[in-house]
Amino acid sequence: MLREVLQAVEAAEGPITLNELSSKLELDPRVLDGMLEHWSRRGKLVVDGARKTACAGNVTPARCSCGSATDKANCPFLIRLPKSYSISSDSDIPITAKEA
């Protein structure tokens, strides 16, 4: 099953989120999250967007107007983007028989 998860990320056209992958593979997101973390620790996957934010209205966070908020941390117009996963550029890491 681990190999199927890795193949699904490889087949995706660009980074894929946990929810997208969960729907595609029909797996519980909590179970899938553990599998993705395994591949991330092994260096096969890159986790993107873990700390990225976006501003409403297609404006970069640096230029986002936060109304009455005094700092970006409390800005009601910034959202945290979901983590997404993509294949590592260092894909030469061997897959063990247990992972296949």
Q: What is the CATH number of the domain that holds 68?
A: 1.10.10
The pLDDT assigned to 28 comes to 93
Residue 19 covered by a domain = yes
At 82, the pLDDT band (50, 70, 90 cuts) reads: confident
Residue 96 covered by a domain = no
Q: What is the pTM of this model?
A: 0.61
Residue 93 covered by a domain = no
Residue 63 covered by a domain = yes
* 39 or 89, which is more confident: 39
Q: Does residue 92 register a pLDDT over 80?
A: no
Q: For residue range 32-56, list pLDDT tens digits in order.
A: 999 999 998 888 888 876 555 555 5
The pair of three-digit structure tokens given for residue 66, joined into one six-digit string:
């936060």
At 67, the pLDDT band (50, 70, 90 cuts) reads: low
Cα angle 21-23-29, degrees, rounded to a multiple of 5: 70
Domain extent at residue 19: 2-87
H-type alpha helices, 1-100: 2-11, 18-25, 29-41
Say how many domains are in the chain: 1
The pair of three-digit structure tokens given for residue 36, joined into one six-digit string:
């993705």
The DSSP code sequence of 58-76 is TB-GGG---TT-SSGGG-T
**Residues above pLDDT 90, as percent of the chain:** 24
Q: Does residue 11 register a pLDDT over 80?
A: yes
